[in-house]
Amino acid sequence: MSPRARRLAIVILAVVLLLFAGRWTAGLYAERWWAEQISPSAAAAVTGWALIGFGLEASGILLACGWFIGHLLLVYRAIGSVQVHRRLANLEIREAVNMQVLVWLSVTGGLLLGFLAGRGAGEWAPSVVLSWSGKTYGAADPLLGRDLTFYLTRLPIWRLLHGYAILLTLLALGGVTTLYAVIGAIRWQDRRPAVNDHARIHLGGLLVLLALTLAWGYLLEPYELVAGVTGTVHDGLFEFRHRVAELLTGVALATSLLSLWWAARGRHAVLLSVWGLLALSSLLGHYVIPALIVGGRSSALEASTRRGLDQLAYGMVGVRDSTFAVRRDAPLDPPRPMALWTPALALSATSADSGRPVAADRAVVTVGRRPRPAWIVVRDQGGQGASLTVLLDDQATTSGMPIVFHEADSLRTPAGPPSLKLPVRAIWPGRMQAVIDTSSSGVVVGNGVRRLALAWALQTGSLLGPGPADRHAFWKLDPATRLECLAPFATWGTPVPRFIGGELVWLVDGYLASGTFPGSTRVEWRGQSIGSLHAGFVGVIQAESGNTRIYLRHSADELAKQWQGMFDSLIQPASAIPAEVVRALAYPVELGETQARVMQQPHWGLGQLMGRSDEVGPLGPAEDARWKSDTSGVEAVIPYERDRLVTSLLQARMADGWETLAILRIDSMLALPSAAVLQTRWAKFPTFQQIKDSVEKAGARLEAGPIRYWPTPQGLGASQVWFAQREVMEPVTVWVSLAITERRGAGHDLEEAWQNLLGLSAPIISAGERGTRLFEARRYLEDADGALRRGDLEGFGRAWEALRRTLKAP
C-alpha cells in the first residue's frame, strides 16, 4: 500500500470513528438533558447506565478485535511470500505481492470480525451490575445446595462469558484453519493430512483452548439443569445428567492435554480419536441414552417442594388455599357491580370519538360525587393531542346503550373536574416522534452546539432551521419507553390510565424475569422461557406534565430490593407511594396470567387452565375480570377445569398495595360446567332463540361476552352478557345469562335475569325488542323526557344526542 493510500485509509477510518463517537456523545448529552427534567437522580442514573453499557460494548469489541488480529497476524507469519499470476500478451508472468498489504488486510479483517463478533456486550449490563452487588437471597436450592443468589446473579454472567469465549474460539479456529488450507500449510500428502509445524502449534493451541472452554461448559451444566436452562430436573434424569456432566468434564480435560501433545508431536490419529470420543460421549450422554431410558422417570423434587419453589419464583408466597364451603345462612345476592363491557366493546362503544385508540382500561371514576366502575378510553388525535372518554361499566341505558361521558362536568372530584383533553406534548402510548413546542416543561433547544446535538440525537432537521427562541423539545412520550430509559433493568408492562387528583396518570408495572431460577416451573413469557417473574416496581407518570416517578412495590422480591438499593435516589421505597396511587393500583396483569399458568401444573392439583393460551405476552385488561363488591377495584377470577367441570378458581386482587392470591377448590356437587358446556345450556332457553332472531331481523348480529365465574354462598356462579352489534353503531346489551350450581336464569338486564334465576319472573319478549332502531329511539326519548322533568340538563343532553345519532343511523 502506497503512503498516500495509507493516509487516505487512516483519514476515512478516523472520520467513521468520529461520526460514531459524535452520534453517541450527542445521544448521551440529549438523554442527560431529558433526564434532568425529571430529577437530578434520574440524570445521574441515565448517564451512569449509558457509560456502563458503552464500557462493556467497547470492551467486548476491543477484546474481539485484538483476538482476531492476533490470530490473523500469526497466520501471516507462516507466509513466506505470495505471488499472483498475470498475463502480458502471450506471456504469463508471476509478480510478488507486497507483504505490507497482507499485514493491512489482516488488521482490517480482524477489526471487521471483532466488531461483528464483539457487539452486544452492552446488553450484559444488568447481569454484570447484579453480579457486583454481593448480596445473598437467603435460600438454597434443594438439589445442589447453592444459594439462590448464585442462580439469579452469578450463573447468568458465567453463561454469557462462556458463550462469548466459545464464539471467539470457534470463529478463530474455523478462520485460521481455512487460511492455512488456502496457503498450503494444511494439505493432503500421500493420502494423509500434512500440517507444517507453525500451523500445527497454532491450531493445537486453539484446540486446547476449545477443549478447556467445553470443560467449563460441562462444569456449568448441573447448575444449568437445576435452573431449567438445559433441561429439567422433573423428568427423573437429574442424577444421570449430573454424572454425565462430570464424565464429560474429565473427557474434555483429557482432550485438552492430548491436543497439546498433538501440537508438540503431531500425532494426527490421536487427535482425531480423542475429539471423536468427546463428540460421541456428548451425543450419547445428552441425547441418545436419555431417550432410551423409559422407566423410573419421577421428578427429583417432591410436589410440596416444587410448589414452594414456584411460590418463591413467581411471588406467590402468601397464597391462600381453601375448599369451597356452603353458607346457607348467608344472603344470596347478584354479582354487583356487574362488568358489562370488554376491551374491544369499550372501544366500539366509544367509536363516535375520532382518533386512533391507544389505551383502554377499567378504572374507578367519580361520577355524581360517588365512585363508579368505568372504562377510560384514550385516543390519539394526531396534531390535536389526545382525547379521553369515560364509559360506565356497570350500567347501560334502559335500552341497553352504553353511557358515555365526553365532558367532565359530571366527573367532578375534590380536585375539580378532570381534563378530558391532552396537549400534543403530553404522554400517551404509541408516541414515537419528538415534539417541538414553546412550553417551558421540556428540554431547552438553545443555540449553537446544544441545538446541533439535539437535532443529531433526535434525527430531526426542524431544529436546525429558524424558530422561536423559547423552543423546547419533548421526546420519549410513550410511558413504557420513558421508564425503559430510566430503569432498563426492568421490563415494563402495558400503561394503565387512571384519574388521580383530577389528572390523567399512567401506571406501569415493572417486571423482573429470570431464566435461571432453580427447580421452578418454566413459562413462556414475551417470547422467552423463564423460571421466575416478579412485579417489583410501578412507574407513575402524569400524562400532561410528564412528571415521572418509580416506586418499589410492597411485595417486591429480593432482586427488586437490590436494584432499589443500588438506585435508591431514582427508585423510591414502597412507603413513599401516595395513598391515592395505592388505591388505584391494579393486580399486575402479566404476573397474574403467568401465575395462572404455573398453577395448572399437576403438582398444584387445580386442573387445566380454561380459555388461555400457553404463552404470556404484553397484555391489556383481561376480558373476564370482574369488579369487587365494594367497587374499590377489579379482581381476576381464573377458572380451572377437570372433566368439563370448573373445579377450582384462582382469585387475584389488590389489598392496600399488596398482591393477594386465593385458591378456591370446588366440590363437584357445587361446581358448574366449563364455559363451552354452560354456554350451550344457556342457548337452549326458549327466549334466547327469540332474542337471536329479533336481533338478526333488525340487521344486527348477536355476540357473546366472556363468561365470568364468581363464588356465592350456595355454590359457584357464572354470568354472561350478550350484545347486539351493528356497523357504525355502538353495541347494545340485549341479554344477560346467570347460573348458580343447578339454577339457571336469563333476562334483558341483570335485575330481570336475577329474578328469573330465583324463579320470581320470566323474561318477556316484546314486539319492539332491543336492538331495533325504533325501540332504541323510544327509550332515548323516554330518558330525555325524564331527565328534563328532573331538571337534569346534562342527562337530557346525553339522551337527546343519543336519540339524534340513532335516528341518523343508516
Question: Which residue ranges in the chain fall short of pLDDT 50?
Answer: 81-85, 95-97, 767-769, 810
The alpha carbon of 288 is separated from its chain's Cα centroid by a whole number of angstroms, namely 36
Calculate the dihedral angle through the C-alpha atoms of 267, 270, 276, 277, rounding to the nearest 10 degrees: -160
pLDDT digits (tens, 9 = 90+) for 232-276: 888 778 888 999 999 999 999 999 999 999 998 888 888 999 999
Name residue 83's beta-bridge partners: 96
Q: Which cell numbers in the block locate residue 455?
A: 437535532
pLDDT for 91: 58
Quote the CA–CA distance of 522 and 529 in Å, as a whole number: 6
Contact 730, 352 (CB under 8 A): yes
Indicate the burial class of 209 (C-beta count within 10 angstroms; 0-12, 13-18, 19 or more): middle
Query: Residues near 7 by Cβ (< 8 Å), separated by ≥ 6?
Result: none
How long, in residues, is the chain? Answer: 810
At residue 653's C-alpha, the angle toward residues 306 and 487, to 5°, is 80
Cα-flanking dihedrals φ and ψ of residue 214, to 5°?
Answer: -65, -40
166 close to 213: Cβ distance less than 8 angstroms: yes
Quick check: 747 and 688 in contact, CB under 8 A? Answer: no
How far, in Å, are 114, 385, 393 from residue 402 at the CA level? 61, 25, 8
Based on C-alpha coordinates, what's the Rg of the chain? 34
Quick one: residue 361, left, alpha or beta (phi over 0 = left, psi -120 to 50 = alpha)?
Answer: beta
779 in the Ramachandran plot: left (φ > 0), alpha (ψ -120 to 50) or beta?
A: alpha
Please list the residues that pair with 370 across neighbouring strands. Answer: 367
* Cα dihedral value 458, 464, 470, 471, nearest 10: -30
Q: Per DSSP, which regions of 656-808 are E strands?
A: 658-665, 672-673, 701-704, 708-712, 715-725, 732-740, 743-747
Cβ pair 162, 216 in contact under 8 A: yes
H or E element that contains 767 = none
For 126, the grid coordinates are 444488568
DSSP string, 187-203: EEETTEEEE-HHHHHHH
Among positive and negative, which fits the CA dihedral 97, 98, 99, 100? negative
Amino acid, single-letter form, for residue 665 = R
CA distance 142 to 302: 10
Could you give the CA distance from residue 647 to residue 764 in angstroms, rounded to a whole number?
A: 34
CA distances (Å), origin 206, targets 42, 260, 275, 291, 605: 46, 9, 13, 33, 52
Question: DSSP labels for 627-639?
Answer: E-TTSS-EEEEEE
C-alpha dist (Å) from residue 212 to 202, 220, 253, 264, 637: 16, 13, 6, 18, 53
What are the distances in angstroms from CA 162 to CA 126, 165, 211, 633, 644? 17, 5, 12, 48, 48
pTM above 0.85, yes or no: yes
Torsion angle in degrees (nearest 10) through CA of 62, 67, 70, 71: -150
Query: Residue 489: its pLDDT value, please?
Result: 95
Cell of 186: 494444511
Q: In terms of Cα–Cα distance, which of 779, 719, 772 is closest to 749?
A: 719
- Do residues 518 and 509 make contact, with C-beta atoms less than 8 angstroms apart? no
- For 330-371, give the DSSP string: S-----SSPP---HHHHHHHTTTS-SEEEEEEEEEEEETTEE
The SS3 of residue 667 is: coil
Sign of torsion over alpha carbons 326, 330, 333, 336: negative
Cα gap 476→32, rounded to integer Å: 13
Please check whether residue 722 is in contact with residue 659, taking contact to mean a CB–CB distance below 8 angstroms.
no
Helix or strand or coil: residue 205? helix
Question: What is the spatial distance between Cα 546 and Cα 716, in angstroms, rounded to a whole number?
Answer: 45
The whole-angstrom separation of Cα 428 and Cα 422 is: 9
CB atoms within 10 A of CB 806: 21
Which three-class secondary structure string do you get for 2-39? CHHHHHHHHHHHHHHHHHHHHHHHHHHHHHHHHHHCCC
Residues in contact with 638: Cβ distance below 8 Å, sequence separation at least 6, in sequence order: 592, 596, 609, 612, 624, 649, 650, 651, 652
Task: Please state whether beta strands 548-552 and 571-572 pair in parallel, antiparallel, or not at all (unpaired).
Answer: parallel
